[in-house]
A = this chain, B = another copy of it.
Amino acid sequence: MMDDTKDFSMACPAPASDYRQILLAHGGGGTLMHRLLNQVFYPAFANDMLGQGGDGAILQVGGSRLAFSTDSYVVQPLFFPGGDIGTLAVNGTVNDLAMCGARPLYLSAGFIIEEGLSVETLRRVVDSMRHAAMTAKVQLVTGDTKVVEKGKGDGLFINTAGIGIIEHDLSVQPRSVKLGDVVIISGDVGRHGMAIMATREGLAFESDIESDCAPLAEPVLDLLDAGIEIHCLRDLTRGGLASGMVEIATTAGVHIHLEERAIPVREDVRGACEILGFDPIYVANEGRFALFLPEQDAGRALDILRTHANTEGAVCIGSVTDGRPGLVTMTTVIGSRRIVDMLSGEQLPRIC
């Protein structure tokens, strides 16, 4: 979880933590994780790149502007409807690069295998990675394998890091978000989290909910090619839409207002969320992103997004308004107005 907030690359002020031990919730993409980042990681590694608050770091190397990002994947179970840990490990990092406005080029992969994992399982995961890399047009160029004793891991953990090249002059980051910007979401929310949940708990809903796990670079590069003035991109993974919005509002110092009625949620996902007591705007996605851009570009952006299978459900869900900096509010389906907070942890641990 937490690709979207991109841990170290995210600057979010939070009060001091008084926890002495790491809790599961520290990995959930919510306020507890941000406290840990602010207390332990940012002070140690303070530099300009870390402070950008994007999904990865933007680097000047030689004559090129590059994006660099990493994520570890610890999802349980390893296989779920719509994907597996291998699909996730490729698409997650590809999407982090895309969210920097970069063209993803190369991935590394580090495998931490628990002794006793079947070679056949490893083979299936690697085959998924091969397929996902081909689809996303990236090459896996370097890797590493470690094995830990039985009981010291959990089948398989995968880390990927990625390099992308930035071929435009825009500064795609939370701080570029401006008053009046429109918020577009690329499709319906909540599917990845509910697919994992249903598999993990052995729940059968009316229909199979498949993860939305998908690569997002192509639609983003099309928007850039068309000259759409993208201010900020954010994939909506750990912590879901709500956490992504709070992170951007905080980092950019703006007030974001959303229309709940406009946020697409599939009926089966909404039903599953209701049964289990989840709010779909907090549920993790692996193929959805939010886009901040000037209102005059919104129509054209929607037209472009709707030509791509992975973003054909794109709609406007809100805007950056004149209000309290750092705040996210939402007009609910019944017409009331509520504050959208970040959760302290995550509704579902080990979602990615």
Binding site for B on A (CB under 8 A): 1-3, 6-9, 17, 19-28, 33, 36-37, 39-41, 44-45, 47, 49-50, 56-57, 59, 61-64, 66, 68-74, 105-106, 108-120, 122-123, 126-127, 129-130, 133, 139-149, 151-154, 157, 159, 161, 163, 165, 349-350
Partner of A146, one of B27, B105, B111: B27
* 6 closest A-B pairs by CB: A27-B147, A62-B64, A161-B161, A8-B143, A70-B108, A57-B141
| A145 adjacent to B37 (CB under 8 Å) | yes
Give complex CA distance A228, B73 in Å.
42
| A20 adjacent to B72 (CB under 8 Å) | no
Partner of A69, one of B108, B129, B145: B108
Dominant SS at the A interface? Answer: mixed
Say yes or no: A7-B149 contact (C-beta < 8 A), given A45-B140, A63-B63, A68-B108: no
| B62 adjacent to A147 (CB under 8 Å) | no
List 27 A–B pairs whose Cβ atoms lie within 8 Å, in order of A's numbering: A1-B146, A2-B146, A7-B142, A7-B144, A8-B141, A24-B147, A25-B147, A27-B146, A27-B148, A28-B147, A36-B119, A36-B145, A40-B123, A41-B145, A45-B126, A45-B141, A47-B140, A50-B140, A63-B63, A68-B141, A70-B110, A72-B110, A149-B154, A149-B349, A149-B350, A153-B153, A159-B161
Say yes or no: A147-B23 contact (C-beta < 8 A), given A119-B17, A141-B50, A142-B56: yes
Give complex CA distance A39, B119 in Å.
10
Say yes or no: A142-B62 contact (C-beta < 8 A), given A17-B119, A119-B21: no
Copies of this chain, complex-wide, total 2
- Residues in B whose Cβ lies below 8 Å from that of A68: 106, 108, 141-142, 163
Give complex CA distance A69, B106 in Å.
11
| B142 adjacent to A57 (CB under 8 Å) | yes
| B70 adjacent to A129 (CB under 8 Å) | no
Say yes or no: A111-B72 contact (C-beta < 8 A), given A36-B145, A147-B23: yes
- Residues in B whose Cβ lies below 8 Å from that of A57: 106, 108, 141-142
| B49 adjacent to A142 (CB under 8 Å) | yes
| B22 adjacent to A147 (CB under 8 Å) | yes
Say yes or no: A20-B140 contact (C-beta < 8 A), given A57-B106, A112-B112, A146-B27: no
Give complex CA distance A147, B44 in Å.
20
When C-beta atoms are compared, the residue in chain B nearest to A9 turns out to be: B142
Partner of A141, one of B47, B123, B153: B47
